[in-house]
Amino acid sequence: MPITKTDVEKIAELARLELSSEEADSFTEQLGSILGYIEKLNQLDTSDTEPMSHCSPAGEDSEYVRRDDVVTPSLGSKAATESAPDAEAGYFKVPKVIGG
């Protein structure tokens, strides 16, 4: 099923990208060709295969590592907001949320 410009615009909305019309056109074509290539995977029967979501950190036999749920010191709001484009008194400032 070929990807359409409408699909691309919908994905851009989900991905929070304000694409120009030219970008949407070129992504439609490029994503179409990449997805066409990806179709190759359907040649394989994977009905009995388990999905692999990560490489086990300590080798094949180990359990996934968990840590104890304890509070440890963190950066603090001053250091955390220092790199922000707009911040005040340890808070991030953004344009209005409602009515946009």
Q: What spatial distance separates the first Cα and last Cα of the chain, rounded to whole Å?
A: 35
Instruction: Name the burial class of residue 32, with classes exposed (0-12), middle (13-18) and buried (19+) by CB atoms within 10 angstroms of its CB.
Output: middle
Binding of residue 18 to other proteins (CB under 8 A): yes
Answer for which of 22, 63, 83, 89 binds other proteins (CB under 8 A) is 83
* Binding positions for other proteins, 34-73, rule CB under 8 A: 34-35, 37-38, 40-42, 44, 46, 49-60, 65-67
Q: Which amino acid is at 84?
A: A
SS3 state of residue 92: strand
In the complex, least distance from residue 71 CB atom to other proteins, rounded to whole angstroms: 14
Distance CA 18, CA 11 (A): 11
Contact footprint for other proteins (CB under 8 A): 3, 7-8, 11-12, 14-19, 23, 27, 30-31, 33-35, 37-38, 40-42, 44, 46, 49-60, 65-67, 75, 79-86, 92, 94-97, 99-100
